[in-house]
Structure 1
Amino acid sequence: MTDPTRTSVELRHLRCFLAVAEEGSVTRAAARLRITQPAASRTLAALEDELGTRLVDRSTHHLRLTAAGHAFRDKAAVAVAAFEDALDAGRSVHRPLRLGHAWSAAGPDTTPLLRRWRETHPDVPLELLRIDDRTAGLARGAVDAALLRGPADNITPGLVTELLHTEARVAAVPADSALAARARLDLADLTDRTIALNTVSGTTTADLWPADARPTAMITVANTDDWLAAIAASRAVGVTTTATADLHPHPGVAYVPLPDAPRVPVLLARRDGPPSHPALPDLCALVREVTGRGRYPRGSA
C-alpha cells in the first residue's frame, strides 16, 4: 500500500534539481526558475527525502553534487527531455527550430549556416541559442540540437553525437602582454601564469598539461563573457579554440596559435529517438554540409 504521507516526485522537483546542478547555486537556480530561494531549497529537500539520499553537498563553500547527485542528474535530464518532447509533439510544426551552443556556435560557419537555412527553409525560423551548460540545453529539452565541443564520451547519456570536424587550440592572452607579440606559443609558456577555466561548458582543464608541468594558479568562471573579462583585465590567460577567436574578438584579448595542444572535437548532438521537430533532419544535413563534414578534413581528433 502506498504511504499517503510520502511526497511523490513531480516534474518541478526534477527541474529544480537540474537548475541547481547547472547553476551551482540554489539562489541562482531559484532566480532562473522564478521562485524564491526558500521554495527552491524546500523543493530540493523534498526530492532528496523522497529518494532517500543526499543529492547536493551543502557543507562546502561552493555547492557540489554528491556521487548520487551526479548519477541522478543524467536520469533527471533524460526524463525532463522526454516530457518536453511529449509536449512538443503536438506543437512542433508551429514553433521555431532551436539550435543550442555553449560558446562559438559553428565558428566561422555560423553566419553561412543561418543564411542557408533562411534561404532553404523560409517558413521555419531557426533560433541559435547560447546556453551555458555542458549540453547547451539539449539534455533538458531547451533545444532540438546542439553544437558541442569536447570528447563524445563526456556527453550526457540519452544523446546521440557525430563528429563534424576538429578545431585547433589557441592561447588567449591580454592584448598588451608580451605573450601577445609572439607568433606562436606552447603549453609550457603558460604554466607560470594563472589560467582561467570555464568549469561549466569549457574544454580546458589542468589535464591539458603533462602531470609534472601543470599550472598551479587557476581561477574559475561560469561563461565565455566572464572568461574574456578575466583575461582582458590581466587576471589570467586562457586556452580555447580558433572558433572563439572568430566569434568572440575582444580589444583586450589576443589569440595566439598553440600548436602543441591537442585539437578539440566539434560535435553535432541531438536527443536519441524520434526528431523533436519535423525539420530537425534537414537542419542536421545542412550543418554537415556547411561545416564541411565529408568534404575535407580540418584535422584529426
Structure 2
Amino acid sequence: MSIGRSGQSAGRGIEVRHLRAFLAVADEGNVTRAAARLRLTQPAVSRTLAALERHLGILLIDRSTHHLALTPEGVAFRDKAAAAVAAFDAALDPGGLRHWPLRLGHAWSAFGPYTTPLLRRWQELYPQTPLELLRIDDRTAGLTRGEVDAALLRGPIEAPGLVTEVLFEEDRVAAVAADGPLADRTALRLTDLAGETVVLNTVSGTTTVDLWPPSARPTATLTVANTDDWLTAIAAGRGVGVSAASTTDMHPHTGVAYRPLTDAPPVPVLLARRDGPGHPALPNLVALAREVVERDAGGG
C-alpha cells in the first residue's frame, strides 16, 4: 500500500512500512528496540523514519536526548498513523487475527477499587483487543506525550488538547509514619498536618500547599518525583502526605499508616483522552468505565 502525495509515483510515496516504523519508534522510545520489534536492522528503521519525515516535511521524533520522544507534530500524527495501519490490517484481515492494543496510562492507583473489575470485564467483552495498563510517572500519565491512548488521572487537568470526564470522586486520606504519634489517631484534619513537613509528589501528585487554608499552611515541604519515593519518605519519618483513598489499598506499605482526612475536599478521578482521532476502541473503554462505576454505585 502506498500513500503518495498528489503527483508522486507510488514508489516514491509513503507505504505502510513507514508508518509501522514510526509507530514502533514512538512506542519503544528507542530505534534499537523498535528495530528488534520489527525484525529489521537499526539503520533500516532510521532510514525509513527519515524518509517519512522528509515526505511529510515535519520532524516527528526529537532525537536530542538518549530516550527519543515525540515532537508535538509527532504526537498529533501518531493517532492518524495508527488508525491508518489499523484500517489497513483490518482490510487484509477481516477475521480479526491481528489486533491493536489499547494503552491505558495512570500515574498511581489506576482506577482505584474499580481497577480489577474494569480489566476483567474488558477481557470478557473485548478479548480481541488487549487492554494494557501502564504506570507512567507524569501528570498526564504519558497521554500528552503520545505514550498511551487514554489515561486515568486525578485532580484537575489543564493540559491543552485533552478531553476529560469525571467518573467518580475519592475521599482524601493522610499518610503518616506507622510508628509515629499521628498513627495513633483514628482520623485527622488538615490542621493536624500543618505543623509537619509535607511530602509532595510534584511530578504526578495532586497535593499542593494550597490544599490548606492560607492561615494554616505547612511551612516545610519535601518534594519527590514518584509514589515510591513518596512512600519511602513518609515511612522514614521525614514527613507526612495526603492522597486519595484508593492509595490505601493500591499502595500498602508496612511503614505507612493511612488515616481518613475529614475536612479535605474529595479528589475527582478522570478518564482523559486526546481531542481528535484515536484508538477505535476508546468509545468502548469510556462506556465500560462508566458501567463499572455505576454498577458499584447501584449495589451490583
Change beyond 3 A, Cα 1:196–1:288: same
CA offsets 1:225-273 (integer angstroms, 9 cap, x no match): 1101111111111000101112001111110000101111111111112
Structure 2 letter corresponding to 1:162: E
CA offsets 1:175-207 (integer angstroms, 9 cap, x no match): 111111211000000111111100011110010
In angstroms, what is the RMSD of aligned CA positions? 2.3
Which residue does the alignment assign to 2:185? 182
Indicate yes or no: 2:125 matched with 1:108. no
CA offsets 1:158-184 (integer angstroms, 9 cap, x no match): 110111111100000011111112110
Which residue does the alignment assign to 1:85? 79
Structure 2 letter corresponding to 1:81: V
Which residue does the alignment assign to 1:44? none
Which residue does the alignment assign to 1:62? none
Change beyond 3 A, Cα 1:139–1:130: same
Q: Unpaired segments of 5 or more residues in structure 2?
A: 1-56, 91-98
Which residue does the alignment assign to 2:61? 12
What is the distance in 1 between the residues matched to 2:255 and 2:60? Answer: 44
**Paired residue secondary structure (2:230):** helix
**Paired residue secondary structure (1:207):** helix
Structure 1 letter corresponding to 2:131: L
Structure 1 letter corresponding to 2:267: V
What is the distance in 1 between the residues matched to 2:61 and 2:124? Answer: 39
| Alpha-carbon contact 1:200-1:223 (below 8 Å) kept | yes
Indicate yes or no: 2:142 matched with 1:142. no
What is the distance in 1 between the residues matched to 2:263 and 2:280? Answer: 43
**Paired residue secondary structure (2:61):** helix
What is the distance in 1 between the residues matched to 2:77 and 2:265? Answer: 38
Structure 1 letter corresponding to 2:243: T
Q: 1:284: Cα distance to partner? A: 1.0
Change beyond 3 A, Cα 1:185–1:150: same
After TM superposition, the score normalised by the length of structure 2 is 0.72
Q: Unpaired segments of 5 or more residues in structure 1?
A: 1-7, 17-29, 35-72
Change beyond 3 A, Cα 1:162–1:253: same
What are the within-5 Å matches in structure 2 for residues 246-257 of structure 1?
A: 246-257=249-260
Q: 1:292: Cα distance to partner? A: 2.5
What is the distance in 1 between the residues matched to 2:171 and 2:255? Answer: 21
Change beyond 3 A, Cα 1:9–1:195: farther
| Alpha-carbon contact 1:80-1:140 (below 8 Å) kept | no
Q: 1:126: Cα distance to partner? A: 0.6
Q: 1:296: Cα distance to partner? A: 5.8
**Paired residue secondary structure (2:118):** helix
Please, which of 155, 159, 164 is the counterpart of residue 161 of structure 1? 164
What are the within-5 Å matches in structure 2 for residues 94-133 of structure 1?
A: 94-133=99-138
Paired-residue identity, %: 65
Which residue does the alignment assign to 1:238? 241
Q: 1:211: Cα distance to partner? A: 1.1
**Paired residue secondary structure (1:255):** strand
Q: 1:213: Cα distance to partner? A: 1.0
What are the within-5 Å matches in structure 2 for residues 222-301 of structure 1?
A: 222-274=225-277, 276-292=278-294, 295=297
Q: 1:295: Cα distance to partner? A: 4.9
| Alpha-carbon contact 2:59-2:74 (below 8 Å) kept | no
Which residue does the alignment assign to 2:205? 202
**Paired residue secondary structure (1:146):** strand
**Paired residue secondary structure (1:287):** helix
Q: Which has the higher Rg, Structure 1 or Structure 2?
A: 2
**Paired residue secondary structure (1:95):** coil
| Alpha-carbon contact 1:174-1:254 (below 8 Å) kept | yes
Q: 1:85: Cα distance to partner? A: 0.9
Indicate yes or no: 2:67 matched with 1:32. yes
| Alpha-carbon contact 1:185-1:258 (below 8 Å) kept | yes
**Paired residue secondary structure (2:129):** coil
**Paired residue secondary structure (1:89):** helix
Following TM superposition, where does structure 1 have runs of at least 4 consecutive aligned residues deviating by more than 4 angstroms? 293-297
Structure 2 letter corresponding to 1:86: K
| Alpha-carbon contact 1:158-1:271 (below 8 Å) kept | yes
